[in-house]
Amino acid sequence: MAGPDLRVAHLGPDAEPGSVKEWCDTYGEGEANDHALGYSFSSSRALTGLVRHPSAAALATVRIRRAAPEGGTGNAFVSAQPSAGPTVGLVQPLRPLGTATVLVTPERGRWNVEYEGPAVPGATPHRYAENGFAVRAGATTTHTFDNAVFGPAPATEPGARPAGVRDGPALSLDVPLLADGEGHAPSAPRFHAATTTLHRDGVLVGTRRDAPGRGTFTTAPGTASYRLTATATRGASTAPGGRVTAAWTFTSAATTRPTALPLSTVRCAPALGLDGTAPAGDRVGVPVTVQGAAAGPGVRSLTVSVSTDGGATRTRVPVVGGRTVFRNPAAGRSVSLRAELTDTKGNTLTQTRTDAYRTR
C-alpha cells in the first residue's frame, strides 16, 4: 500500500510514445457515500507524481441497491472498480433493502460493479456483475441486484456465446433461467429443482437436471422439429419459490461448425420496491423486451398473459410499443406472467413466470 514516503521516478530514456501505461486509483469510505477516484495515462515516461482535487460537479454517482424479495437476511457485499487496468476495489457490506453510493471519476473510463449475496450454510454465494458501463459527471447511474422479476436472460454483450448452439449432432442450451429483474445472471443460482428436456419430432431425446437452463444432448443428424424445455424453481430445498419455464420450438439439422439456435427470450420489467412488491390495485405499465434471435424486427407475434391465481386462469393483455398495461390485484396476492412469441421464421417461445412478484 502506498504511504507518504512513496517516491516514483522514470529511469532511463523515453519509451515509445504511448507505450507507458499507468493507472492511479484511490478508494475511501465516507459517512454519506464512498469514493473510487481513478485516472489513467499513456505517455513515453512514467509519472513522477500526481495531484488531483476533483470537484463534486466533476464526479459521477453510482448507486448500488440490494433487493430482498423473499425477505432475505444477512449482509451482501458490493464493490465498484474501473473496467480497465489493474485495480483493487473497496468491498463494503450492504444490508437488505440497502443502497450504497459511490462517487467515481469519469476520466477513468468505464466501470464495473460486483455484488455477492449473503452466505447460506452449505451453499456457494451467488454473485452478480454489471460490467463496462459508462458514467457521466453530474449524473447518477443505478444498479439493482437480486430483485424480481426473475427469468431467462441470454448474454447480450458482443462476442457472447449464443443461448443455444448446434454443433454436428450435439445440441446445447446455455441460458440463465434465474437472472434478476435487471437481467443480471447469478454465478451460483439458488434453485429448488431444475430440468432441461429435449424432444425430436415428439420423441424424448433426454433430460438434464444439473443446472437451470443448461444441458447438452446428442441427437440424429437429419432435419427435424425440436422442442427444448427448461424449468427452474427458485429457493432452497425446504422453501421453494416462484417457477420459471421456457419452451422453444424450432427446426434443426446437424451442422459442420457451431451454429446458433434460433432461441429468443422475453423480459417483463415492472417497477417494484426493493422487497419485490408493487402497489395493490394500481394500473401499471410494464416494459416488455425481446432478446435473442427475434430481437428487433424478428417478431411475427407476441402476446402476454397475466394470472393472479398461480396460473390457474390467465387474462391476455395487449403489447403495444414494447409495453403492456394491466391492474395489480389486491394486497398480498401474486402476479404470474406468460409470454408467447413467434418469430418471422416460425420458431416459437412460450415463457412462464409463476409468482413473478407480489402486491402490497
Percentage, residues of the chain above pLDDT 90: 81
- What pLDDT score was predicted for residue 240? 57
Q: For 197-214, how does the pLDDT look when each residue is reduced to its tens digit (9 = 90+)?
A: 999 999 999 999 989 999
pTM: 0.90
- For 274, half-sphere exposure in the C-beta direction (CA atoms, 13 angstrom radius) is 15
Mean pLDDT of 283-305: 96
The yes-or-no verdict on residue 65 having pLDDT over 90 is: yes
> Which segments within 253-328 are labelled E, that is strand?
259-260, 264-268, 277-278, 283-292, 299-307, 315-317, 323-327
Q: Rounded to whole angstroms, how far apart are CA atoms 273 and 287?
A: 16
**DSSP reduced 3-state for 170:** strand
DSSP 319: B
Omega cis (within 30) before 149: yes
Give residue 69's pLDDT band: very low, low, confident or very high (50, 70, 90): confident
Phi and psi at residue 56, to the nearest 5° = -60, -35
Indicate the range of 83-87, 97-101, 167-171, 349-353 predicted with least confidence: 83-87
Task: Give the cell for residue 242.
Answer: 416462484
Residue 111 has pLDDT above 80, yes or no: yes
**CA dist., res. 178 & res. 18, Å (int):** 44
Confidence at 237, pLDDT banded by 50, 70, 90: low
The band of 155, judged by pLDDT with boundaries at 50, 70 and 90, is confident
Would you say residue 4 has pLDDT above 60?
yes
Query: In terms of pLDDT, which residue wins out, 93 or 121?
Result: 93
| pLDDT confidence tier of residue 8, bands split at 50, 70 and 90 | confident
Kindly report, as residue ranges, where domains of CATH 2.60.40.1120 are found in the chain: 20-145
Mean pLDDT of 118-124: 79
Looking at domain 20-145, which CATH architecture does it have? Sandwich (2.60)
- Round to whole Å and give the CA distance between 208 and 196: 5
At 158, is the pLDDT very low, low, confident or very high (cuts 50, 70, 90)? Answer: confident
Find, among 199, 157, 176, 308, the residue nearest to 246 by Cα. Answer: 176
3-class DSSP assignment, residue 316: strand
Specify whether the CB–CB gap between 190 and 155 falls below 8 A: no
The pLDDT value given to residue 3: 65
Residues 139-168: what's their mean pLDDT? Answer: 92
